[in-house]
């Protein structure tokens, strides 16, 4: 394995580094959802994390891992919302500048979160190339350190701490289900499972309109130029190279979910679990419901990854 890839011990180090900064989020259960799904579900409530998403874990780990002289020049990233807000919040906690490049069409509620935490916003076209180019320009102009939303090793390690906590509180599941976009949470989860639950299978929930991870795992090659088409705005990023390497090594499996099924699962989470989660989070529950035979009778951990919902544009309102 390449030396620049994080390892399971990095997740343990991240847990120590972010202690006192990140919330220890609860593990939620629902007998009603267990009955519907035909398995025993343990939901890690990362929508209750600071910033409203798991992203604060990785951003916090990356920000606090920087040497003081490097940190003083600030940090920069590109993000459709949750990572940008998380990085802004982490940077504010360390008292350093934060710059966030945001693509056109980003969810208004998520942009408001970024601004609320004090970041400077930079706009760009909604393509991966535009995001990266604008980020490089800001980095060159400011001297800020790039904290990539999902390929940064410290970000990946930090995201894995959610699963460490779930296993610590609820015991090791037989299957762990997480959403996948760029792969930061997925890869971090793989490392965490290697550390504390090596017998657990990792299942990735992915939108049908952005199924590049499923394609990569099936073919052995990434397609970074795919064009996403999904209402799961947090899962539109292309799978990162280090993330792919870690997921392949972990034997991760992908379940591809239609947006209609994700919206139905989002409603269930709101109505039954009484939790406000966004589509990019609800897709993990949707994956469990989409393939009942895969999960039947199993102990299943599910990361509810975020709850930053645009209440003016709910997916069931027309």
Query: Residues 126, 232: one domain?
Result: no
- Are 277 and 162 found together in one domain? yes
pLDDT tops 60 at residue 106: yes
Residue whose token pair is 């469990």: 288
Task: Say whether pLDDT at 301 is over 90.
Answer: yes
204 backbone dihedrals φ, ψ, rounded to 5° = -105, 125
From the list 192, 194, 173, the residue with the least C-alpha distance to 284 is: 173
Beta bridge partners of 45: 304
Q: Give yes or no: residues 269 and 142 share one domain.
A: no
Predicted confidence (pLDDT) at residue 80 exceeds the cutoff of 80: no
Q: What confidence score (pLDDT) does residue 224 get?
A: 81
Residue 169: how many CA atoms within 13 Å on its side-chain side? 17
Domain-located, residue 314: no
**pLDDT tens per residue across span 6-33:** 999 999 999 999 999 999 999 999 999 9
Q: Is residue 161 located within the same domain as residue 284? A: yes
The answer to whether residue 277 is domain-embedded is: yes
Asked whether residue 312 is domain-assigned, the answer is no
**What strand order describes the sheet that includes 175-179?**
27-28, 40-45, 299-304, 175-179, 201-207, 253-257
Tokens of 14: 């991240």
Pairing of strands 175-179, 299-304: parallel
| Helix or strand (DSSP H, E) at 162 | helix 161-170
Q: 298: buried, middle or exposed (CB in 10 Å: 19+, 13-18, 0-12)?
A: middle
Are the beta carbons of 100 and 87 closer than 8 angstroms? yes
Whether 299 and 187 map to the same domain: the answer is yes
Tokens (6 digits) for 200? 């657990």
pLDDT tens-place string over residues 231-264: 998 898 889 999 999 999 999 999 999 999 999 9
Q: What is the CATH number of the domain that holds 272?
A: 3.40.50.1100
φ/ψ of residue 95, rounded to 5: 75, 35
How high does pLDDT run on average in the chain?
Answer: 94
Which residues fall within 8 angstroms of residue 116, CB to CB, at 6 or more apart? 85
Instruction: Summarize the confidence of residues 133-144 as an average pLDDT.
Output: 96
Q: Is residue 122 part of a domain?
A: yes
Point out the domain boundary residue: 87, 120, 150. 150
Do 92 and 136 sit in the same domain of this protein?
yes
Other C-beta atoms closer than 10 Å to the C-beta of 127 total 13
Residue 2 has pLDDT above 70, yes or no: no
Domain of 102, in residue numbers: 56-150
Q: Are residues 160 and 122 in the same domain?
A: no
CB 86 within 8 A of CB 117: no
Share of the chain above pLDDT 70, in %: 99
Q: Report the distance separating Cα 210 and Cα 190, nearest Å.
A: 21
Interior angle at CA 315, CA 313 and CA 286, nearest 5: 145
Tell whether 311 is covered by a domain.
no
User: Could you give the 3-state DSSP secondary structure of residue 315?
Assistant: coil
Closest CA to 205 of 225, 246, 235: 235
Contact 202, 176 (CB under 8 A): yes
> How many domains are contained in the chain?
2
Q: Are residues 91 and 239 in the same domain?
A: no
**Residues 228 and 172 both lie in one domain:** yes
Would you state the pLDDT for residue 111? 86
Domain end point (choices 101, 133, 150) = 150
The percentage of the chain sitting over the pLDDT mark of 90, rounded to a whole number, equals 84
Q: pLDDT value at position 318?
A: 54
Structure tokens that stand for 130 in this block: 């535009």
Q: Examine residue 72 and state whether it is found in any structural domain, yes or no.
A: yes
Are both 61 and 99 inside the same structural domain? yes
What is the rounded distance in angstroms from the CA atom of residue 192 to the CA atom of residue 158? Answer: 10
Distance CA 143, CA 167 (A): 39
Q: Do the domain assignments include residue 27?
A: yes
State mean pLDDT over 188-202. 98
- Of 150, 176, 205, the residue that ends a domain is 150
3-state secondary structure of 139: helix
Q: What is the mean pLDDT of residues 218-236?
A: 91
- For the cut 90, the answer to whether the pLDDT of residue 1 exceeds it is no
Average of per-residue pLDDT across 137-161: 97
> Do residues 140 and 188 share a domain?
no
* Inside any domain, residue 145: yes
> Do both 264 and 181 map to the same domain?
yes
pLDDT for res 310: 81
């Amino acid at each position: 394995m390449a030396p620049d890839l994080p390892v399971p011990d990095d997740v343990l180090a991240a847990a120590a580094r972010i202690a006192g900064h990140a919330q220890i989020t609860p593990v939620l259960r629902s007998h009603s959802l267990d009955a519907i799904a035909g398995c025993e579900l343990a939901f890690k409530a990362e929508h209750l994390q600071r910033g409203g998403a798991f992203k604060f874990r990785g951003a916090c780990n990356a920000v606090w891992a920087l040497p003081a002289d490097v940190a003083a020049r600030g940090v920069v990233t590109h993000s459709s919302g949750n990572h940008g807000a998380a990085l802004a919040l982490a940077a504010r906690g360390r008292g350093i500048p934060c710059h966030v490049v945001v693509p056109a069409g980003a969810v208004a509620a998520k942009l408001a979160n970024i601004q609320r935490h004090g970041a400077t916003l930079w706009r760009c076209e909604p393509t991966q190339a535009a995001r990266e180019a604008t980020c490089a320009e800001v980095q060159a102009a400011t001297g800020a350190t790039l904290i990539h939303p999902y390929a940064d090793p410290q970000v990946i390690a930090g995201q894995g701490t959610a699963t460490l906590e779930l296993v610590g509180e609820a015991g090791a599941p037989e299957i762990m289900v997480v959403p996948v976009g760029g792969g930061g949470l997925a890869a971090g989860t793989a490392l965490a499972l290697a550390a504390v639950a090596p017998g657990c299978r990792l299942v990735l929930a992915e939108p049908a309109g952005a199924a590049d991870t499923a394609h990569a795992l099936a073919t052995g090659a990434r397609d970074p130029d795919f064009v996403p088409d999904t209402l799961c705005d947090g899962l539109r990023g292309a799978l990162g190279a280090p993330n792919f390497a870690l997921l392949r090594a972990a034997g991760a499996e992908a379940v591809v979910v239609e947006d209609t099924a994700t919206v139905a699962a989002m409603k269930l989470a709101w109505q039954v679990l009484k939790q406000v989660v966004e589509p990019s989070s609800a897709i993990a529950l949707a994956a469990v419901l989409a393939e009942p035979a895969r999960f039947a009778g199993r102990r299943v951990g599910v990361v509810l990854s975020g709850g930053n919902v645009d209440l003016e544009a709910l997916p069931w309102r027309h």
